Amino acid sequence: MNEQLKKYIEGENWSFYGVIKYDELKDKLKEHEKHFEQWEKEGNAGSMEYLKNMQKDRFHPENKLPDINSIIVLGAWYSDEQKMCSIEEGDAQVARYAVGKDYHKVLKKKLIHLSDWLKEQNPLADTYISVDSGPTVDRVLAEAAGLGFFGKNSMIINPSKGSYFFIASVMTNLDLEATEKKRMPNCGDCRRCFDACPTGAIKAPGKIDANLCISYLTIENKEGIPEELREKVGNRIFGCDICQEVCPFNIGRANKQEVLIENLKGKYGAGEALDLKEILSMETDEQFTERFAGTPLMRAKRRGMIRNACVVAGNSGNKELIPYLEKVIEREEDGMLRGHAKWALGKLK
Ligand code: B12
C-alpha cells in the first residue's frame, strides 16, 4: 500500500509527504495543547477567536474521525522566484503564499482526490481532510510526519527545501505504515528572524504575538492598523514573508524550488505586486470581487485591502498617490478607512 501511495502522491504533484500513526501522536498533541492554551491566554491570538473555539477538535482529531488510525501529511511548495516590488513605483507586495489561486480550494480538491483514491483501494476506508482553515494543528502534524522542524519564526522548515510550503492532511481509519523520520537540524544560535521582524512579533523562539505580526495586521485583523506599527508595514499589502526571507534555510534554495501545483503560481491569481492606484480606486465590493474572486485576498475584503493600501501608500513617499487618497476620504463613510487615508496624506504632504 505504501509504495502505491507514494506513487499516487508524487503523481499528484505534492512536494513531499509523511505518514504518522495516530497513537504515536497523542502525547505530542497533549503537550502542544498546553502550549497553545498558554499562548492564547497571554493574548497572542489577537481577535482570532476561532482558534480557541476549534481547540477541542484541533488537538483531538478523533472528534472528527472516531476510528482514526493514521494521518497522511502533505507539503505543497508555493514559491519559486519572487518579484520583489518597488514601493517607490507604487507597487505593493503580496506575500508569496497568496499570489496564486486560493490554496484552500486548490489543495482541498487534491485532498478529495486522494481520499477517493484511498477508498478505491479499500472500500472500508474512512477519511477526514483538512488544510489551514480546517480543525487541525497543521504544523504539529507536519513536524511529527517528518516534513521539517519548528523554526524560531514558528514555521516548519524542511532542511533541504526551506519553509515556503503549505501543509495539508488526510486522516484515515486505515492502518498505514508510518514513514521513516530523518534526523532534523534546528535553528541553533541563528537569530536572523528575530532581528529582521520590523514589529518585533517574535517574542521567544517559536512564539509569535499575532497582534504585532504584519501577516495578522494586514489579513486577519478587522480593525485599524495601530498607528505606531504603520510605518513598519512597509510595502506589505497582504501578508508578510520577512521572517522567512532572512532564514538561511530559504536563502539560495527558494529560487531553486519549483512550484509543482500550477494553480498556486502568481499568473493564475493576484500576482506578487499590486498597483496601489487600482486598489485605492475600488469603489464597490462587486468591483473588488470581480478582480480578486478565487484568490486568498478575498479574506481581507475590500475594506481590509483599502486600509492596507492606505498604509503602504503613506509609506511609499509617492506623491502621485495623493489624489487617490483624497478620493478615499471623499468617497468612504467608514471612519477607519478615512482615518487611514488621512494618516497617509499626512505622510505624503
Ligand atoms: C493562526 C495562523 C496564523 C496567525 C498566527 C501565526 C502563529 N504563528 O501562530 C497569523 C495570521 C499571524 C499567521 C501568519 C502566517 N501564516 Co499562518 N496559520 C495559522 C493557523 C490557522 C494556526 C496556527 C496556530 O495554531 N497558531 C498557534 C500557535 C501556538 O501555534 P504555532 O504558531 O504553530 O506555534 C508552534 C510553535 O510555537 C511550537 N513551539 C515552539 N516552542 C514550543 C515549546 C513547547 C514546549 C511546545 C510544546 C511547542 C513549541 O509549537 C506551536 C504549536 O503548538 C495555521 C493552520 C492550522 N490549521 O494549523 C496556519 C499556518 C501555520 N500558517 C501558514 C503560513 C504560510 C503563514 C504565513 C507565512 C503567511 C504569510 N506569508 O503572511 C505567516 C507566517 C507568520 C509566522 N511566522 O507564523 C502555514 C505554515 C506552513 C509552514 N511551513 O510552517 C500554516 C500551517 C497554514 C498551512 N496549512 O499551510 N498564521
Nearest CA to ligand 1 atom 60: 132
Catalytic residue annotation: 132
- Relative to the CA of 193, which ligand 1 atom is closest? 77
What pLDDT is stored for residue 70 in this prediction? 98
Nearest CA to ligand 1 atom 9: 208
Nearest CA to ligand 1 atom 37: 206
Residue 243 Cβ inside 6 Å of ligand 1? The answer reads yes
- Relative to the CA of 243, which ligand 1 atom is closest? 77
Q: How far apart are the first and last CA of the chain?
A: 66
List, in sequence order, the alpha helices (H) in 174-296.
Answer: 192-196, 214-215, 227-233, 242-245, 276-280, 285-292
One-letter amino acid for residue 210 of the chain: A
List, in sequence order, the alpha helices (H) in 13-125.
Answer: 26-41, 49-53, 55-58, 103-121
pTM of the model: 0.97
Residue 206 Cβ inside 6 Å of ligand 1? The answer reads yes
Which residues are paired to 93 by β-bridges? 236, 273
What pLDDT is stored for residue 85 in this prediction? 66
Residue 199 Cβ inside 6 Å of ligand 1? The answer reads no
What pLDDT is stored for residue 310 in this prediction? 98
Q: Transcribe 293-319 into DSSP letters.
A: TTSGGGGGHHHHHHHHHHHHHHHH--G
Residue 79 Cβ inside 6 Å of ligand 1? The answer reads no
Among 39, 154, 240, residue to substitute to test ligand 1 (most atoms within 8 Å of Cβ):
154
- Relative to the CA of 202, which ligand 1 atom is closest? 77
Q: What are phi and psi of 279, to 5 degrees?
A: -65, -45
Task: Pull the grid cell for residue 307.
Answer: 486600509
pLDDT tens per residue across all 349 residues of the chain? 688 999 999 999 999 999 999 999 999 999 999 999 999 999 999 999 999 999 999 999 999 999 999 999 999 999 866 666 666 565 899 999 999 999 999 999 999 999 999 999 999 999 999 999 999 999 999 999 999 999 999 999 999 889 999 999 999 999 999 999 989 999 999 999 999 999 999 999 999 999 999 999 999 999 999 999 999 999 999 999 999 999 999 987 655 668 899 999 999 999 999 999 999 999 999 999 999 999 999 999 999 999 999 999 999 999 999 999 999 999 999 999 999 999 999 999 9
Separation of 273 CA from ligand 1 center, angstroms? 24
What pLDDT is stored for residue 91 in this prediction? 81
Among 30, 56, 132, 139, residue to substitute to test ligand 1 (most atoms within 8 Å of Cβ):
139
Residue 220 Cβ inside 6 Å of ligand 1? The answer reads yes
- Relative to the CA of 156, which ligand 1 atom is closest? 84
Nearest CA to ligand 1 atom 73: 215
